[in-house]
Amino acid sequence: MAAEGRTQVTIIGSGPAGLLLGQLLHIAGIDAVILERRSREHVLGRIRAGVLEQVTADLLGEAAVGERMRRDGLVHAGFGMLVQGRRHRIDLHGLTGGSTVLIYGQTELTRDLMDARHAAGLPTVYEAEGVSVHGFEDRRPYVTWRHDGREHRLDCDFIAGCDGFHGVCRASVPRSAIREYERVYPFGWLGLLAETPPVSEELLYISGERGFALCSMRSHDRSRYYLQVPLTDQLSQWSDEAFWQELRRRLDETGREQLVTGPSVEKSIAPLRSFVAEPLRFGRLFLVGDAGHIVPPTGAKGLNLAATDVKYVTDGLIEFYRERSEAGLDEYSVRCLRRVWRAERFSWWLTSLLHRFPDEGPMGAKLQQAELDYLLNSEAGLRTIAENYVGLPLQFGETTPRRDTRASP
């Protein structure tokens, strides 16, 4: 169908959340149009997370886009922690009864979803300017935008806001209908992507006197590294050589020997934030993924939370169109937020454990070291880290009775 007139679901945003939702709805026989304010090339150029929980990998399989992920993704049964110069391994597989995570770059995942949508001939409008959402509070939602010098309008039954933290969907909700919780951390992550083999076969989290670092990868020959830096730092201060020198200082002797350096493919500084909006449903508008919540990347939860949001809203929409029941949609916010807050807690906790906080002083640093010493030398502590890292199953603790969580602006 054309991207104008009427559809069942309008999806705002063509990141992984929006594309995955569109693919799952297509498989279920539900029409959806995706609107994206950026170009396709810009969306594919964004460098993001690459750690997938089993729940997310399974969902991509349901969406019939998992073939390349299964072939090229790296299965990790554990990860390393280098704390005050001493290495520890978190045995995810052994501590959780067999769970693992999959390393597969978000760029590749996005490409797979884009290719599937294109192959199916499904409508996506890129470079949609001035997107605006209307009527979601009175069951007559529609979306307007400009494209190629023309004004467009699309009427629909529902709007899915998959347009990120700075998107139009959450901003369109009256302030009286929404409550926002936020914590901004006093540091950022300086990230560098390089066409070099990773320093370790598994992810390596580093906590030491000079601050946090993370040695990650996208494949066997593409590495992603991060350094904790002050929020006042500018990218211009960090040449490639300065980055590699600082990473060497935070690594141990083994890491320094194994580190292979090279020119950066991409380099950026990202602030860290914890953010949750409540509720996540407003009449016929749903906030999905980063539009409704942000986690610091330490726990690798952002993309995985977005995927479970997509799962819950997809189930609700299928129930609505097949059974004319809104019970699943009414439950959307409660189900998502219970999972969101657990992931927020873990991401905040892991961030607090591994980073240097400038205002906490020597006492805070010693208490942090003591807690890490306990956790890394206790089976219960290790299991707590492992269970949260691999992700809780979708059914975990879901005993909340259904209730209507729609907000009326």
Range of the domain at 132: 5-74+102-182+273-357
* pTM recorded for the entire structure: 0.94
Residue 260 placed within a domain: no
Closest to 171 measured CA to CA, from 287, 308, 274: 287
| pLDDT above 50: residue 24 | yes
- The active-site residue, picked from 16, 76, 104, 296, is 76
Residue 79 placed within a domain: no
Asked which of 13-17, 349-353, 405-409 is least confident by mean pLDDT, the reply is 405-409
- The active-site residue, picked from 185, 205, 225, 312, is 205
- The active-site residue, picked from 198, 296, 297, 311, is 297
Residue 235 placed within a domain: no
In 51-194, which ranges are continuous DSSP H helix? 54-62, 67-72, 92-96, 106-119, 168-171
Tens digits of residue pLDDT in 316-373: 999 999 999 999 999 999 999 999 999 999 999 999 999 999 888 999 999 999 999 9
Q: Would you state the pLDDT for residue 395?
A: 65
| pLDDT above 80: residue 164 | yes
Residue 89 placed within a domain: no
- The active-site residue, picked from 185, 225, 332, 389, is 389
Closest to 112 measured CA to CA, from 76, 73, 75: 73
Q: Would you state the pLDDT for residue 404?
A: 38
Euclidean distance between CA atoms 393 and 395, whole angstroms: 5
Euclidean distance between CA atoms 393 and 99, whole angstroms: 11
Euclidean distance between CA atoms 125 and 145, whole angstroms: 10
Residue 404 placed within a domain: no
293 is catalytic: no
Residue 353 placed within a domain: yes
Residue 396 placed within a domain: no
118 is catalytic: no
**Number of folded domains in the chain?**
1
- The active-site residue, picked from 152, 267, 293, 301, is 301
295: domain CATH number is 3.50.50.60
Residue 384 placed within a domain: no
Q: Would you state the pLDDT for residue 405?
A: 36
Question: What's the sign of the alpha-carbon dihedral 35, 40, 45, 47?
Answer: positive
Residues 173-180: contacts with CB under 8 Å, at least 24 apart: 173/282, 173/285, 173/407, 173/409, 174/409, 176/409, 177/282, 177/407, 177/408, 177/409, 178/277, 178/278, 178/279, 178/282, 178/407, 179/277, 179/278, 180/275, 180/276, 180/277, 180/278
Euclidean distance between CA atoms 90 and 309, whole angstroms: 28
297 is catalytic: yes
Tens digits of residue pLDDT in 238-275: 999 999 999 999 999 999 999 999 999 999 999 999 99
